[in-house]
Amino acid sequence: MEDEKTLAAARRTHGCGQLTVDQIGQDVVLMGWVQRRRDHGGVIFLDLRDRSGLVQAVLSPDRQPGAFEASQGVRHEYVVAVRGQVSRRPEGTVNPHMSTGEIEILVSEIDILNTSKTPPFYPGEAMDVDEAIRLRYRYLDLRRPEMWEVFTYRHRASMTIREFLDSKGFLEVETPMLTRSTPEGARDYLVPSRVYPGYFFALPQSPQLFKQILMVAGFERYFQFARCFRDEDLRADRQPEFTQIDMEMSFINEDEIMELTEEMLAVLFKKLLGQEVRRPVTRMTYRDAMAGYGSDKPDLRLGMKITDITEFAGKTSCQVFSGAVQAGGVVRGIRVPGAGSLSRRELDELAKLATGWGAKGLAWFVLGESEIRSPLAKLFQNEELQELVSRLDGLPGDLLLFMADREPVVSSVLGQLRLELGERFKLADPDQFSFVWITEFPLFEYNDTEKRFEAMHHPFTAPRSEDLHLLETVPDQVRARAYDIVLNGTEIGGGSIRNHRRDVQDRLFKAIGLAPEEIDQKFGYLLDALDYGAPPHGGIAFGFDRMIMLMLQRETIRDVIAFPKTQSSTCLMTGAPAPVAPKQLDELKIACTLSKKNGGR
């Protein structure tokens, strides 16, 4: 029992960052990591850190020579326990940048709980460290106070959402991680079965089918913080595994789902950020979003709405514009406030960007106080130029950009130019949160490679009832009962009303070219469930990591995931993915044909 008398076995009384002047005179036991060690004229100062914060510990040879001697070997990132008395710092030494800056611990006893090698970087010091190094030593990176703040925030967000959904009658239900592959959408991650050689489970891309079956089962309101897996190319806001807030409801319509979603977001943003979410959130059809912003996830903070001048342009004397209209194209433009100061070189760079994105060219007009400068100005009559400026509400000092081409090209390129210019001129307020709903998506999109239609969202989305008669004749004109919610130009959530009738679901499967036997093989269990009194239902799912990233104004979701993968889908800390032992492959009846010599990692 002697060991119980040591400081290492003592009970910690406080967190390092929890102490205040109210504890002055108290004896405390603290445990944590040494962030800094300073030797000032024979007195040693240790900055001791744990999750709650930082406090200064002082060791003096005059007061406690034993503790002072024991601290001689202490270095950065050592784990120590200290016993001492809370004392007010001497006059002139208060640190206003620390929550514990008015006090210090006069140490009477210290125990080294563990040593540390010299770290590749010091978690407690502000410095630029290459992300690859931070991910390789993620356990050190996660010691940084700003990372603790991120994950404290993430925890509070998940608890707030759970409490809200519980108050609205939702049940949290877990769905399987090992399921059946349904190759619609991104690639599946496959898991081989040892018991059934040659057969595979798939990790879920989303709990879509299971949540619909829960509605058939009468649960009525379900939610889950679901882990999802998609084998796809990565971006700053995409990971191969991520967390999704999944919600499904019975006996509900689009308006009710949107209203509940807005209420949840209002509670979340108010509680965590003190920000008001303006309700009702703006709604915009897919067609209007593409025409006005060149994107189905527009960032409304930028302004610069795209203006269609096709009818006017077709009547002008400028053949560049009128010729494109006569050929069945469109002419659209954007006004960039205050960008008339761009040099000719910068304007040429914009044109080069546009052609790189697929445009034939880019027409620009710089508006001066008394003149309009443009290579195309001489092709217009003076009154046509004035009308052109008027159509876009141009003012002196502005830049007007126009494109004349096929509608999809014009929409896409102007949309990308809009984002590029918004970034260059810092038009978006980073502290503003701008939400918008996008509705009435096309139900299908055409796959040029496979020469067939496929579901734009997923094949379980219901068509709008007024478009149902077009399903077999002009499927590209059928609109979906689908909706996305966009925050500052990033989609954070999306959902739809589902098909609850088997006859409609069968028609959708046929529209995307699935044969009856293929339908039964892949989705038979869902269709069987729909035969047993499936209620009308719908739902929405949020990318939780992506939403936290935007709320905290981070550049990448890797900053808000504890153990993320790199841009190339690898884990630098564990070395995954990695080869496995031949015995494991033998048990699974799998032969690996790829070697390091012919292309393996």
Res. 75: pLDDT tops 70: yes
State pLDDT tens for residues 127-165. 789 999 999 999 999 999 999 999 999 999 999 999 999
The packing angle between helices 254-273 and 145-167, to 10°, is 140
Q: How confident is the model at residue 520 (pLDDT cuts 50, 70, 90)?
A: confident
How sure is the predictor about 449, in pLDDT bands with cuts at 50, 70 and 90?
A: confident
pLDDT, mean over the chain: 93
Q: What is the pLDDT of residues 467-476, one digit of tens each?
A: 999 999 999 9
In the block, residue with structure tokens 């209209």: 325
Q: What are the tens digits of pLDDT across the range 261-313?
A: 999 999 999 999 999 999 999 999 999 999 999 999 999 999 999 999 999 99
What is the value of pTM for the model shown?
0.91
Which of the four pLDDT bands, split at 50, 70 and 90, describes residue 367? very high
Q: What is the mean pLDDT of residues 319-334?
A: 94
Q: How far is the C-alpha of 572 from the C-alpha of 136, rounded, in Å?
A: 5
Domains of the chain: 2-114 (2.40.50.140), 130-242+540-601 (3.30.930.10), 304-426 (3.30.1360.30)
Q: Is the pLDDT of residue 596 over 60?
A: no
Q: What percent of the chain has pLDDT over 70?
A: 97
**pLDDT tens-place string over residues 420-445:** 999 998 989 988 999 999 999 999 98
Close Cβ partners of 408 (under 8 Å, ≥ 6 residues apart): none
The predicted structure's pLDDT at residue 185: 67
> In which band, very low, low, confident or very high, does the pLDDT at 3 lie, cut at 50, 70 and 90?
very low
CA angle, 433 then 437 then 443, to 5°: 145
Angle at 572 between CA 571 and CA 575, to 5 degrees: 75
The b/e string for 119-137 (b: 16+ C-beta within 10 A; e otherwise) is eeebbbeeeebeeeebbbb
